Structure formats: structure tokens, C-alpha cells
Chains A and B, each alone.
Chain A
Amino acid sequence: MPNIDLFTWWALSISFSSIFLIFISIYLFIDSKSRRKEDIRKKAGAFRIGRNFAFVWVLLGLLVFYIFSIQLGAGVLSEAIFAVGNIVVEALLVLYLLRQREEDSKQA
């Protein structure tokens, strides 16, 4: 098991950077809507907002996954889990990006 104090600090730090990023995303989203004078509740439904924040859900998932895999400590198993998790997320993100590209080209 890793040194608990150092691990707690590390988990807090990595969580802080992710949560900071999520807050920034929310701030930017609200800022853009208010500058365009749009009513967030009216114009964007919960699903649409959720879709806009797709990368945030991936980020939160990654955070949990990273903390979990690092907590396993040294060993082939933790490295294998880390590798597989990354590959799955990459595949998902690439699919998302390709779909996004199709949507963008349709809009264009």
C-alpha cells in the first residue's frame, strides 16, 4: 500500500486540477450564454448541456480510474489495468471526435 499521507495529497491534487477544470468549463459555458443573452434553461435542455459537457464526464471517469489504478500500487496488474483503461478511453474519445467531425461538416 502506498504511503497514505502522500497518496491522500496526490489524490487531492489530481482531483483539484480536474475539479478546477470542470468549474472553469461551467464558468465559460455560463459566460458565453450570458454574453449571448440566452436563457440557459430555455435554450439548452439538460440533455444538450450534458452532451456539451461530454469531455467533462470523460474527465471525471478518468479521474476515478486514475486514482483507482494508482491506488493498486506497483505490479503488473495495476500497469495492465492502467494500460487497458487508457486504451478504452482513447477509443471512446476518438469515436466521439469522429462523430463530432461528421456533425460539424453537416452543419457547415
Chain B
Amino acid sequence: MGYYNEYKAEKTVQDLRQAVSIKAVVTRDGKTSQIDSKLLVPGDLVSVYVGDLVPADVRIVKLKDLETNEATFTGESFPVEKTANKIDIQNPTPQELTNYLFMGSVVVHGSAQSVVVSTGKNSKLGSISGSLTRSHPETEFQKGVKSYGNMLLGFTLVLAVSIFSVNAAIGHDLVWSLTFSLAIAVGLVPELMPAIVTISLSQGARRMANVKVIVKRLVSIEDFGNMAVLCTDKTGTLTEGKIALKDVHPLGEEKDQRLFTYSLLCNTAVAGETVVGNPMDVAIWEHALQNDSQKSVEPYNRVDEIPFDYQRRMMSVVVNKNREYTLISKGAPESVFSKCKYADVSGKIELITDVQKAINDKFYSLSELGYRILAVASRNIEKRTSYSVEDEKDLTLLGFLIFTDPPKKDAHDAINKLNDMGVAVKILTGDNELVAKTICEDLKIPVKKVVVGSDLMQMNWNEIKAVVEETTIFARITPEQKLDIIKALKANKHVVGFLGDGVNDAPALYEADVGISVDTAVDVAKEAADIVLLEKDLLVLANGINEGRKIFGNTMKYILMGTSSNFGNMFSAAAASVFLPFEPMLASQILFMNLLYDVSNMTLPTDNVDDEYVKAPKRWDMSFVRKYTLFFGPFSSLYDFLTFGIMLFIFNAQTKLTAPLFQAGWFVESFWTEVLVMFVIRTRRIPFFTSRPGKWLTLLTLSCVAFGTILPFTILGSFMGFAALPPEYWVLLVLMVATYLVLVDAGKVFFYKICKY
């Protein structure tokens, strides 16, 4: 396993290296050449152009209309406009460093000359690769199994050593004492557990694949089911991950059809089979096609275009309808405002200076909701052969276009479903807090608290641990902060899942108890994840969690049975060995019973799990397992002792000669109680028979019981040292076992009232 983990970690690093192995245009000693980005050093002058992957962390010296996409790095879906100016912010987050380009981001517009600041592992991206070189931390389930193993080891050692010592001290044969104590030790060890866990996990993985959840690391399935907190990014999970036109806002109350028609006319997107072009122009066209309103542009003829540039931050077109020429401008609101003289407020033309405050209020209130906004303005213009930037004057402001990364239709239901399942959802985004908050409001997700990366940076560890409990949205955060949030949640004893798909998410995917990625994620994220969703959909996730809980439930059944009835039986055997004048059961008989019991459990992974069990996440609680053992173990011992009484005093099996009868009687009772109590323990329902067990489990268990019952009457039984049991025994056995099962059920009422799990 260790080797496998190391191999995977190494492969992840290789993928990361491959992903960032790029060429760079560098100027050294006045000579410009293209070199491998690995050879860049701080101080090099690097040029980047549209489509380039930034080769190192660089400080921009000179730029032209530069925009970059930092989505894989920050999670933000909108392009980021860059500047060459000095940024005067103390402790800025990477998102605030707009005069920097980060290694791995993509230039989507313009070009820049910049100076290399840090390269390779010293870059922001490199620091991510550094955190991936270690193996996955132990999952909660692995820790639980380990502590369970330690508890059993302690029990087994104490019991085996005591049995051997006491039996040897009272004069029993040393070899017999040793083999008997070893048989008891073997009886206590749940040797089938690895098989049960592996079968459960592999069958579960297959079932999860049917609900579009691919499990990469089997051991994470149980933690997946027990996940109490899911940290997820916003883009693509809560939102569609693409820009869409949300609404058009005229300046007054009345709708103005011109606003949308003009935005379609003043547009550079090309609508064919698919719409291509600038993301905002594409969004306008897609909105038109969805609402079948593209025909509104048909009466217009496009006469000329004044293209967009980064100085004006707007574009214009001139159109002609019925020989009337109109200049339409669309762009950044501040830029468009500066070209406007008038404003159209519900059809009334006002001087813009008179309504400027109301317009600004509207613009800022929409901005505060986290929307991206464009303004649209127009004016009548005389017919000419060509038009220029100088014509963009005396415009009449018509209104705003509101863009957003729209929320997913089913995200609200998915979040509700997750909450109903006891999974708290926290949003970790590189995007700004307003956008994240607006999305949550649109989806009706209750937001307790919003914390931004810069606030988090000021906090000490204890403050972070406290704040992660009450915060729903973490905005403008760095990959390192994502890691801190997950560590803090884990330190607060939560089983934490993280859903992410960018390079920046890889460390958090590694650190979380369950790293979840999607099929469309970057390779590094997929490699770091434990679970890959074939659809980036929280509903798919909810189905997977359900499966994980069923698997955990069936694994726990085996553990609780093994540590209660099994423990009780071995304890009775140990006590009886001290006082009886013969062996209560031969070592070979104990081992055979153990084998038969394990066979009966082979189909446990296919058992049904009660609906109420999968409603909330569980955690591995060793204190609960210990209490369960201490409470339910003695029930089994009580009925073992009762069987001793029946065999000794009703059937007079008190001598070495009648020992085979005693052993057969106890073997059958012990086996019946040990196996049949599974039907009581497997459910919390009272009475136990109101929960339907799996058919294969029922079939195999009853077959094993039947085999154990007839064993004393067979040649194999004789060979093993059993004697045939009298008919009266069976009557007493049936009554006794029935009382035992109902008594354990009554014990469950008491136990689950006081031991919450």
C-alpha cells in the first residue's frame, strides 16, 4: 500500500510537471529567444501573448489590453483585467495582485512584458506541487480500524495470557492450556474483517459507478458516506460555470425592448451552429436564441462598427432602420457614462447630470450583488460612409445588461438533499464574496457568515478553527487557505470532503478525508482525488454518499457482532475451562465454529441497511464499540452459562466421558446465538423483525445454522468429537435462544437510549 501511495504521489507530481512544461519568450542581454520555461530565472524579461500559458510568477512592466483567465488557479470564471501599476495593498491576496501574472494562468486578451519574480517550486503553482509529494493522510475509517485493532489486540492478549496462566496454575496440561488459549485468541480475532471490508468496498464501488461516482481509492468510500462537511467550489458546482445574461435593466420602471435589441446589434459574437466570440456577447446571443428574440434585429442593417479597445472599454455600431441611422454603444458603465449627455428614463429624455445620482446608485447596487454589468447607450446619427470614435458623444443612456454565472437549476435541491442527509455545505471560492453571496441567495442557501481570504490571513490557528464552524462562504481565498480550512475542520473532528477541479484544488483534495473531483477536471486534480464524479452535480454526490453510508453500516454490523457475541462466547469458554473437569470445547471445535461463523457472514456486504441509518453521517467511535462490547457481550455469556447448566444438570454431562455431549450442546447453542443475534444487531429497529435482512444474508446464515445443527449427527461431527444431542435438548434450545434474542432486543431499547450513535 505504501509503495502504491508513493507511486501515485510521484505520478501526480509528474502530471503537474508535464502540465506546466511550457516555452517562454525571454529577453536576455537585449536578445529575444524562446526557451524552456524550466530555464527561466528571476530577473528575466518575459513576453506573453494571447493564448500563452504564463511560464512563471511575473510582475507586469508593460501591457496592452491584458486579460488573463486564472480559473484553474483561483476558481474565478470571469477573465481578470491586469494592470502595470503599483498595487498599494498590505498583505494582498493573489486575486488582488492585478499587476502580477501567475504561473499556469492563461492570457486571453492582449499582451505584456514582465519580469520573472519566482519560478518552478517557488511559484504559487510550484508550492501546490510541493504539497502533493506526500502520500494521502489516513482516512477516519483507517484510523478507526487501527484503533479497533489495538482494542482487540489488548482484549485478546489479556484473555489469552490469563487463560493460559490460570489453566496452567490449576494443573491443566500445559500443551492443552496453550492450544486452548490460542484457540480463544483466534476466536476473538475477526479474521474475516479484511475480506468483509474489501467485498463491501468493491461491491459498493460498483454500485456507486452505476450512479456516476467513480471510486479511485476504495478505503475512502466509508469516509465518503460519513462526510459531515462538504467544502466545494462555486463555479460549475453551484453555478453553470459559464457567463449568462441574467437580465436587462432600463433606467426607469418601464421595459424598453430597444435595450436588448441594441445589445444584440452592438455585438461581435457570430451565431452559427454554436455562438462564438467574446463571452459576454455570446451570452447576449444565447439569451436571444433561448427566448427566440433574435428576430428583433432583422429590420436593422449594420452600417459600420467602431471596435472595442481597452482604452475606451466600449464598442459601437451604426445601424440603419427605415433610413434612420442610429449609433449604439455598449461597454463598461463608467466609460459609457462619460460619453452620455442624456438618459432615457421610462421614455422621458433627461439630462444625465440631473439623474446621475440615481443612475450611479442603480449601478453600484447591482455591482454590490456581484454582477458583471455593461451599459448601453445610443443616439441618432446622420448617414455617412464611415464613423469613428469621435462620434461616441452626446449619447443617451438606455440601461444596463446584467451578467452572471447562473446558478444550476438543481443546485438548490441538491444542497437541500445534502443538508437533509446531515452534510453541511461550505463554499470555498477564489471569486469575490458578493458573487458567492448572490449565488447563495439565488439558490436560497442560508448563509451564516462570509469570511474573505484577507481576514483569514490575520487569524491564528484557534481563531481559524472557530471561524470554520460558523462560516458558509470563504471568498477570495488562496489554495493554502483552502488547505487550512480543511485542516481546521478536521481538527474540529469533522469528516471533511472537498470537491474541486482546478490545479489550485489539488492540495485540498489530498488533505480532505474524501477528495472529490470531476471527470472534466484537470489531471492533477483527478489524480489527487479519491472519488471522481462523472457529472459535476451535487445530486450525483448525494447518491454516492448514500451508498457510502450503506457500506459503512454493513461493516459496522460485522464489527459490532464480532466484538459482542463472539467476545461473550470466548469469555464463557475461558471461565468454563477453569472450573469444568473437562474441556468445555476442544480447540479444533472452537476454530471450526469460528470458520462456520465467518462463512455465515460472507454475504453481510449485501445486506439491506435501514433508511433511518443512512439519514445522517456516522463516525467511527471507538468508545461506542467498547460500550457495545461490554454491554452485549455478557448477554451471550449468560446464555452460554445457562447451556452449561442444562448440559451439566439436566443432561448430566459432568464427566470426561460425557464431555462430547456437553461440547456438542454448547457448540450448537453458541453457534445459534452467535449467528442468529446478527438479525437483532443488524438493525436498531424494535422489534428487530421489522427490518428486512438481505435475502442472500438470510439464506446463507440459515444454511450455516442448519449445517451447525446437524453437525453433531454426522460423521464429521463424530470425527470432531461431538455426540448426538437428545430431542429434549432441541426444545430447550429453541426456547432459550428465542428468549435470548428478545432479551437482546429489549437491551437495545436501553442501550440506544443512553448511547447515541
Q: Show the binding face of A for B, using Cβ within 8 Å.
A: 2-3, 6-7, 9-10, 13-14, 17-18, 20-21, 24-25, 28-29, 31-32, 52-56, 58-59, 62-63, 66, 70-71, 73-74, 78-79, 82-83, 86-87, 89-90, 93-94, 96-98, 100-101, 104
Contacts and interface: CB of A to CB of B under 8 A. Distances in A.
B747 interface: yes
Task: Identify whether the interface residues of B are mostly helix, strand, loop, or mixed.
Answer: helix
B579 A9 contact: yes
A96 B646 CA distance: 27
B743 A97 contact: no
B146 interface: no
Interface string B619-646: 0000000010011001101100110111
Contacts of A101: 686-687, 690
Task: Identify whether the interface residues of A are mostly helix, strand, loop, or mixed.
Answer: helix
A94 B745 CA distance: 9
A83 B749 contact: no
Nearest to B736: A86
Given A17-B572, A58-B746, 18 more contacts: A6-B579, A14-B645, A31-B754, A32-B754, A52-B753, A58-B743, A70-B645, A74-B651, A79-B650, A82-B732, A86-B739, A87-B735, A90-B738, A93-B745, A96-B749, A97-B686, A97-B742, A101-B690
A80 B627 CA distance: 36
B561 to A, nearest CB: 18
Nearest to B629: A24
Nearest to A13: B641
A18 B630 contact: no
Contacts of A31: 754
Contacts, number: 130
Contact of B646 (A29, A54, A70): A70
Nearest to A76: B728
Nearest to A104: B686
A14 B743 contact: no
Contacts of A29: 754
A3 B638 contact: no
Contact of A86 (B575, B735, B755): B735
B388 interface: no
Nearest to B578: A9
Nearest to A27: B630
Interface residues of B, number: 44
Given A90-B738, A100-B749, A104-B686, A10 B631 contact: no
B3 interface: no
Q: Which of B649, B738, B754 has the most CB of A within 10 A?
A: B649
Given A21-B634, A82-B735, A97-B686, A66 B754 contact: no
B686 A83 contact: no
B657 interface: no
A53 B732 CA distance: 27
16 contacts: A10-B645, A10-B649, A17-B634, A21-B635, A28-B630, A32-B754, A52-B754, A55-B743, A73-B649, A74-B651, A74-B652, A86-B735, A86-B739, A93-B745, A96-B749, A101-B686
A93 B686 CA distance: 11
B641 A3 contact: no
B145 interface: no
B728 A79 contact: yes
B654 A6 contact: yes
Nearest to B754: A32
Contact of A94 (B687, B690, B751): B687
B638 A54 contact: no
B463 to A, nearest CB: 27
B641 A14 contact: yes
Contacts of A14: 638, 641-642, 645
A96 B736 contact: no
B719 interface: no
B188 to A, nearest CB: 17
Contact of A13 (B579, B686, B746): B579
A97 B745 contact: yes
A28 B755 CA distance: 8
Contacts of B686: 97, 100-101, 104
Contacts of B756: 32
A20 B686 CA distance: 24
A32 B755 contact: yes
Nearest to A3: B654
Contacts of B575: 13
Interface in B688-742: 690, 728, 731-732, 735-736, 738-739, 742
B638 A78 contact: no
B750 interface: yes
B63 interface: no
B591 to A, nearest CB: 24
A58 to B, nearest CB: 7
Contacts of B638: 14, 17-18, 21, 59, 63
Contacts of A32: 754-756
Given A10-B641, A10-B645, A24 B739 contact: no
